[in-house]
Structure 1
């Protein structure tokens, strides 16, 4: 498995492990994943220095306890020569999203995890290609990692219970494993398999929404539900057919839909989606294009703005910068300060992760995130971003509660779809 892909699965598994009370046999996965999440939060394309105060804020935003977890994770990063610890903060070497994932993988390997931890990464990778029967997958994993029958049973039980993979019952004694990354790569045949499992009217509706997303890059959940109907929308979302992201402010919470493969035209979608930075950036920028007024700093020439940021220049000062990009500031994508330029004073912004800006520029220009793309984004500062996998988990749980067999036809078609 490629180190960047392995790093992506470590981040994925760590996010799942954060919802359980005891990480048990997966403590090395958790430590490596947390170290990778922290590294992503504090790093920039160029070397930077982070004060203790900023370090604590970024750690909190990344769901890392500043008292109990942060000191240990800083030691781990220091031991791997990724940061230099000082008396009042840390210096971080130039790190990109891709290299952060490689470092996550290297940290994991250095902890000398047992085969059972490696096997959960392999299970997730195999299940992301297409749904696979538990019997076939167990044979494959036990052979690759030389697990005993007891270890094999344990790792598959844990993978199901913790949520490393999803499980669908296709019969009394037949389990099928898959996960939310099914449609991030080689999606054309998988889309066809899903369409073939639906009724003609459902096929037409799904084609309509998919075509719209290819033209506009993203649409509101309200519009998507209007086209598909809430039941079909929930059904296809439970297997990861779409990405549903949530942006929030103090007054409301609004969802929007993108294709999981939206970024794969320009990069490895699995790798670049690991920290959900590009999608958060596109959401914030689109808000600036569609909802911000001219007086507070409406974005009118997005390509020029992004190219200025990518070139390392500060933009501003406008009041919108101090409000619309808070979530990106907390994720370590941008830095914001009060400054002066052209006789004006106010918030100014600099891009810290150049590759995220480049990816956002490609998607916005070629994926047509235009004034029609996100008509229902909230009209106040974006202060929270909920990633697609978190939303898929919620939809999946709701779908299972209604009917554990609701997605059977789609899973069966994907499993036998010939890819």
Structure 2
């Protein structure tokens, strides 16, 4: 994965000699690169490569962060290399630490819930700490260490762990589950979310630990709510503004809605990934009658253009390529400029309604005193998540 990270971002194909130079920097020899590393990356769908007629690598395409988050991709690569149980549990420990700061007891409990016994869990935690990707800090009040990821939780670890320890076990596990699902599956439909009690999910939504965006069609297809993680922003350096982030969520939510809820007779999207790829490659898709009723809000935000034809059908034409490209990455993970509204858009065509995360959060009702502990815990979590989305990092992660 170090090798993939080093070649990440190069738009032009790298020569064989350049690839081997990057491999040397990552501590990988030429023979290992060609016989082990590249085949493992390809099998794990983290990278792909092409060979010339002589069997020499002439091009490598990496998918870092596209076909899964970094930990998921690392796990898939590791699976190709006959990993030991200690290596597997180490990755799980790193992942748990990224979701929230937890006391050592609670951290080990999460590993137990993933199927590891006491001894293996403790070994995995110690190895995760040795990598520097996970750290611990002692708490006198809690009488044990707090385990956390320094790349996500730069401060307040003890306070957050204290809040989480004060929650009933079921609600604490539910909060961690919500964080995990929203991060791993951008645009997950709310009915598919393994929800805890309504109060806990409402608290998470209220303070923005997870974000829920609702799309409503004007064509009688009803409404659907999709869930996103605010930490997605910290994983993508193309998201330079909150508006760009919301536009990408708007686009993804509409593509998923077109797949799940659009009228079948009007051209329901069979595969959102295939359709978006076609939109990027050809510049337009269609015609279909659903395009004439369900996508004018995307047009109003300047993301696409709806070009109507006869018989109530329309084409969807690409406008903001960077938003659509980013949306494709999220859609793949789920199965930049802000811009302004185009003044020529005919809003009398009644676009569907999109409730963005901030509007959803503001519209949530009072959850009552019974959820006070949950709200407090989530509020502390959100403060740290906001730092992560601003790309803040600890001064010395080691």
The alignment's TM-score, normalised by the length of structure 2, stands at 0.46
- More relative contact order in 1 or in 2 (CA 8 Å, sep 6+)? 1
